[in-house]
Amino acid sequence: MVENMKRVFINGYGSIGSRLAQFIKDDPEITVVGVGKYSPDDKVQDAISRGFDVYVPEKKIDSFKNYKIKGTIESAVASSDLVVDAAPGGTGYVNKKQLYEPKNVMAIYQGGESVFGDERVSDLLFNSRVNYKEAFGKRHVMQGSCNVTGMGRILQPLREKYGSQIVRFDGILVRRWADLEQTEKTVPDTIEWTPNPHHGDDVKFYMGEKTPLFLQVIKVPTRQMHLHIMNIRFKDIAPKPDEILDLFKNEYGVATLWTAKGTKQIRDAAESMKFSFKDTNMIHIHANMLECIGDTVKMMYSDDQTGIVIPENHILMQAMLFQKPYEEAFAHTESLFHMAEKKRLLEEYFAKKV
């Protein structure tokens, strides 16, 4: 057993919680205390059959009498060093006040929470590419949502290289309606627009409020990833496509695909290559859609909604629990997620035809 093992409880076993539990159970530095369930449905048995202890709210324990439940969520939280809150958006704040703070336990919150207003869960919105070290010593941190995390992976390298040469980032986020497993959610035949989306403010929260980012957000009837259409305007003439692609060659969690025609094709490729949960855990720049015209770079990249935040949560966990140097934490996450290999396989699968 590794010295200084830490105990982690995953509160919520939906799209995010179930993935996290599955990946971090193989981490030799962490004991997964178990997972929290709130509804007595098939996912309880699913968690048990994968070897997880299931905990339920004390006041609901009777409704789980047909399942082999380990104990109450309240007791699981109290016996943990850190909780990953994977609750439906907006519930994390209530959990913080009613559970985590009273039991003096560290917590990571997901992107459906907020870092603004009276119900903010943290004063740090985490993006490993931008502010890894700022999580040292923090007890409550919010992981950015899938779109917010994906934008960081594109905007931060651009900003580092081109700085004040960039005048604006204008993005259209095309969001998926539901996740693959959310079969209870129907995908209606409509396109919805989102007034006052949180995504831009969230990105500016970690990249700086002066970041010239302007977003419009729509939701479309698909379960297959998000797509960002990002136009980057430069003061003078924009760099050439090759220079932009070079910038992302060695970026963690960014694959460059030449021949993908759509998001479902990428998901299918992930499935055919036996990636866990059919997730790529990354974003994919669609090189065949990249154009540089005058002062503007026009990019499109897709964002694996469920997968992208899972390795991020794991990196964040290491910052909060162990305060590891970034390279060490990153290498440890890589040993569980094999992102470099997945990137190589995807890039090969969708390579440029010569």
Catalytic residues: 146
Does 39 help bind ligand NAP (rule: CB under 6 A)? yes
Residue type at 273 in one-letter notation: M
Q: Token pair 């859609």 is at which residue? A: 289
* Number of continuous H segments (helices) and E segments (strands) in the chain: 12, 16
Contact with ligand NAP (CB under 6 A) among 80, 110, 131, 263: 110
- CA dist 157 and 251 (Å) reads 8
- Spatial neighbors of 183 by CB under 8 A, at least 6 apart, are none
Least distance (Å) from ligand NAP to the CB of residue 15?
A: 4
Binding region for ligand NAP (CB under 6 A) out of 88-96, 259-267, 312-320, 335-343: 88-96
Q: In 3D, which of 298, 258, 257 has the Cα closest to residue 280?
A: 257
Q: Which stretch binds ligand NAP (CB under 6 A): 33-41, 161-169, 204-212, 317-325?
A: 33-41
| Mask for 145-174, x = binds ligand NAP (CB under 6 A) | xx----------------------------
In angstroms, give the least distance from the CB of 43 to ligand NAP: 6
Who contacts 83 (Cβ-Cβ below 8 Å, separation ≥6)? 8, 9, 10, 11, 77, 95, 99, 100, 105, 106, 107, 108
- 97 vs 352, beta carbon nearer ligand NAP: 97
Task: Give burial (CB, 10 Å; 0-12/13-18/19+) of 249.
Answer: exposed
**3-class DSSP state for residue 4?**
coil
How many Å apart are CA 204 and CA 159, to the nearest integer? 13
Per CB under 6 A, 305 contacts ligand NAP: yes
The site that binds ligand NAP (CB under 6 A) totals a number of residues, namely 27
Of 111, 171, 253, 311, the residue at the interface with ligand NAP (CB under 6 A) is 111
Residues 197-236, one symbol each (x = binds ligand NAP by CB under 6 A, - = not), give ----------------------------------------
Check residue 95 for interaction with ligand NAP (CB under 6 A).
Answer: yes
User: Cβ neighbours of residue 119 under 8 Å, at least 6 residues apart?
Assistant: 90, 93, 113
Shortest separation between residue 178's beta carbon and ligand NAP, angstroms:
8
Q: Does 12 bind ligand NAP (CB under 6 A)?
A: yes
Which parts of this chain interact with ligand NAP (CB under 6 A)?
A: 11-17, 36-39, 86-89, 91, 95, 110-113, 145-146, 179, 305-306, 309
